Every structure is written in structure tokens, then in C-alpha cells.
Amino acid sequence: MEELKEKLAEILEVEDLDTTKKFGDYEEFDSLAALTIIAMLDSDYHQSMKASDIRGYESIEAFCNAVLA
């Protein structure tokens, strides 16, 4: 899970990713960040997801758990 968190922190351009927050809580989360996350999920985790799915998670931790399940 740490690797996924590091990738998300890099995409969101933050030092410390608070996984209790939602993606929308970060002002750095915009349509480009969502597209970058979608591309990373496809290439690194062989999963597809829509931006609305990403925004719908109650926390970044819940997102990570779903991706790694």
C-alpha cells in the first residue's frame, strides 16, 4: 500500500498524504490529477476507473484498499 500512497502523493504534489481525507479535500486534485490517477491504475494495477468513481470514495485509504483488494 505504501507504493500506491507514494504514487498518489506524487500525483497530488504533496509531501504528506493524509489518507483519511477525500481526494476532493486536496486543492491539487483536479481533472488532470484524476486522469493521471486513472492512467496509473491502468498501467500499474490493470484496473479501470472513472473520475467520478475516484471522487466517490469516502477516503483515500478506502480508495487504496479497493485498488489493492
Q: Which residues, 6 or more positions from 9, have their beta carbon under 8 angstroms from its beta carbon?
A: 15, 16, 17
Instruction: Give the per-residue pLDDT at 51.
Output: 95
pLDDT tens digits for the chain (69 residues)?
999 999 999 999 999 999 999 999 999 999 999 999 999 999 999 999 999 999 999 999 999 999 999
Q: What are residue 28's phi and psi, to 5 degrees?
A: -75, -15
What is the CB neighbour count within 10 angstroms for residue 22?
16
- Is the whole-model pTM more than 0.85? yes
